[in-house]
Amino acid sequence: MQLIPAIDIIDGQCVRLTKGDYDQKTVYGEPLQMAREFERLGYRRLHVVDLDGAKSRHIVNVDTLRAITSETSLVVDFGGGLKTDDDIGRAFEAGASMVTVGSVAVTQPELFGQWLRKYGPERIILGADVRQGRISINGWKEDSAEELLPFLRKYIDMGVTNVLCTEISKDGTLSGPAIHLYKEVMAAYPDLHLIASGGVSSEADIQALSDAGIPAVVFGKAIYEGRIDLARLIQSHRC
């Protein structure tokens, strides 16, 4: 299973929200310092979210992204506020290896398709943030009419191979991941590289996802709250 630590950024600081609520924010320190620690322990991937960008609908924390990619060897996927050609270009110019795009896939499917063709499916991750079975957009501030499985089908048919799926009701709660949801996705699309996100509270949760056949997991709050031994975890899973 691919293990992907997460860094969410507001005002240049590493933070975690609860259920995407900007009013329920906990600050955990400096992003570059955290990224260096992940690298020191042997992790190779990193998920970075520009929460300021998601809220303002354009990329904001590009300098923090550039610092992480220039001062570590981590393979970084970046999301949050990617709404235009300029936004995605700036993210790649700042060193992102991949970008996670969610809202544009809902609101501007033609533009998403252009990016998928231009950059390739290996560099574009489809973000599928789910609340009550429907895709949420714009920093989880709005719920669309798109239902998860048909939404995924549309873009898999266009060539998407990587999907980051977050169950919003679980995110930041440390209440355990929505394993049933990810199993449903994998049953429908067994060749998909699905990255599960939301609710991970322990190494046991990650093992349960692995046992369920989920290819990858993003996790953050459990790290910062000291619930996961990162050194032990990396020894027991392939990253």
**Catalytic residue set:** 8, 129
What is the spatial distance between Cα 225 and Cα 169, in angstroms, rounded to a whole number?
19
Which residue type, as a one-letter code, is found at position 224?
Answer: Y
What is the spatial distance between Cα 7 and Cα 15, in angstroms, rounded to a whole number?
7
What is the spatial distance between Cα 101 and Cα 112, in angstroms, rounded to a whole number?
8
What is the spatial distance between Cα 18 and Cα 159, in angstroms, rounded to a whole number?
32
Token duo for residue 65:
């992204």
Residue of 82, 233, 144, 208 lying closest to 196 (CA atoms): 208
SS3 87: helix
